[in-house]
Amino acid sequence: MIVYPIPERTVHGVIRAPYRIETRDGRVTGVEAPDEESRRILRHYTGLAPYDGRPLSGDAAEAFELRRVIAEMAIAGFNPVMRPEIENGRLRPVTGLVLLDEKVGDHQAFGSNDQFMGRVPSAFGSEHVEHTDIVGGIARVMRLS
């Protein structure tokens, strides 16, 4: 289980905090958030249910299901160069730039990861497999299972 203490802005709206993503054996099994719209967005990005509720079949269903796989994970505080910059206030844990934030704060991604030698493909048949990054700052509650 991963608890995220800060909101996440997406193209579908804001996932209000705190929210939780439950995993087992490297796959998302459930989500929880303060309101239904946040849960709906989380279910979409983690492969549990399409945002618009439409049924999927064939390659589209298989590609969507692959979003449930944890593609990558990083825990803040292990980079000896970045940690002092965060602690002295020169660098915020979440800047809004995902490519920087994922190197500074806690970071989890779901979906495709073959672009960096992972096993989850970027496409299944004719369908694209999403890769979604979520950055959680440096405050965390994690229980890995």
Domain limits at 41? 2-142
Phi-psi group of 63: left, alpha or beta (phi > 0 → left; psi -120 to 50 → alpha; rest → beta)? alpha
pLDDT tens digits along 32-54: 999 999 999 999 999 999 999 99
Number of domains within the chain: 1
**Over the stretch 66-103, which tens digit does the pLDDT of each residue have?**
999 999 887 766 667 777 777 787 776 666 677 777 76
Q: Taking Cα atoms as reference points, which of 107, 34, 30 lies closest to residue 71?
A: 107
d(CA 135, CA 145): 20
Statement: the pTM of the whole predicted model exceeds 0.85: no
